[in-house]
């Protein structure tokens, strides 16, 4: 089935460029929006698989628009567009429920790949960038949020996800099969009420389980 995409950016020229790239690659661009208010309205009406979301926009920014869209449309994934990767706005967007971000000047092939990845339910955020974002912008331990009770193994897996380890790497480190690690991933998402591994990493830092610079 063709992946449907909603493009949200306050610059008409950028929207047109993204539409051209995505439509040439076989995606169904179902609509466009020029600000966060329009994005929410169009998302509700169109229920796209993926929203390509700018952060800085008039009326309502992409962070709040992301928060409302993922709350109202659990099956819709948000991929944030940004000019700078290490940006507090990007961190806030990820916390709001975005499944990752891409730079606005990325190559067309990379944009296509990013949309494909988030459409399958995966996160599009390089582990190294995730860690740098969290270490720079996560709140101090004194403001840590509480975690629900986890088993020792769940805690180990959560910590390694926050460290940017892939399922294959986690399996090797913990002497588990990759299928077992994926089961732990699913269990953590359900227990923590989260959408994907990006949110797991964020929570690990915000709970104080993983500290900036802890390696």
The two most distant CA atoms of the chain are separated, in Å, by 51
Is the pLDDT confidence value at 214 over 60?
A: no
Query: What pLDDT digit, counting tens, does each position of 131-178 carry?
Result: 677 777 766 655 667 788 889 999 999 988 887 777 888 999 999 998
Query: What pLDDT digit, counting tens, does each position of 32-71 carry?
Result: 999 999 999 999 999 999 999 999 898 899 999 999 999 9
What is the rounded CA–CA span in Å between residue 17 and residue 102?
15
pLDDT of residue 143: 63
Taken in order 132, 137, 140, 141, is the CA torsion positive or negative?
Answer: negative
Q: Which helix (H) or strand (E) holds 70?
A: helix 62-72
Q: Which helix (H) or strand (E) holds 159?
A: helix 152-162
Pure H helices in 2-35: 12-24
- What average pLDDT does range 77-101 have in this prediction? 82
* Burial classification of residue 13, based on how many CB atoms lie within 10 Å of its CB (0-12 exposed, 13-18 middle, 19 or more buried): exposed
- Segments making up each domain of the chain, as ranges: 4-123, 134-206
What is the rounded CA–CA span in Å between residue 63 and residue 60?
8
Query: What pLDDT digit, counting tens, does each position of 9-26 carry?
Result: 999 999 999 999 999 999
CATH code linked to domain 4-123:
3.40.50.2300
CATH architecture of 134-206: Orthogonal Bundle (1.10)
Reported as a pLDDT band with limits 50, 70 and 90, residue 86 is low
Let me know the angle formed at the C-alpha of 200 by 195 and 203, rounded to the nearest 5 degrees. Answer: 115
Could you check whether 4-123 and 134-206 share the same CATH topology? no
Percent of residues, the chain, with pLDDT higher than 70:
87
E strands, 90-189, in order: 101-103
Percent of residues, the chain, with pLDDT higher than 90:
47
């Amino acid at each position: 089935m063709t992946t449907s995409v909603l493009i949200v950016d306050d610059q008409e020229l950028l929207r047109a460029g993204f539409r051209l790239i995505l439509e040439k690659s076989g995606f169904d661009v179902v609509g466009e929006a020029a600000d966060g208010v329009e994005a929410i309205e169009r998302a509700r009406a169109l229920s796209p698989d993926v929203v390509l979301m700018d952060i800085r926009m008039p009326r309502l920014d992409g962070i709040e628009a992301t928060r409302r869209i993922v709350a109202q449309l659990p099956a819709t994934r948000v991929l944030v567009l940004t000019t700078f990767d290490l940006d507090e706005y990007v961190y806030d967007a990820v916390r709001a429920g975005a499944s990752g971000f891409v730079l606005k000047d990325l190559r067309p092939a990379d944009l296509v790949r990013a949309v494909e990845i988030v459409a399958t339910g995966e996160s599009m955020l390089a582990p190294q960038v995730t860690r740098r974002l969290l270490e720079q912008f996560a709140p101090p331990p004194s403001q840590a949020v509480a975690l629900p009770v986890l088993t020792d193994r769940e805690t180990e897996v959560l910590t390694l996800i926050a460290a940017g380890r892939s399922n294959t790497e986690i399996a090797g480190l913990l002497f588990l099969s990759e299928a077992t690690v994926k089961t732990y991933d699913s269990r953590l998402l359900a227990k923590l009420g989260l959408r994907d591994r990006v949110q797991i990493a964020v929570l690990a830092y915000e709970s104080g389980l993983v500290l900036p610079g802890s390696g």
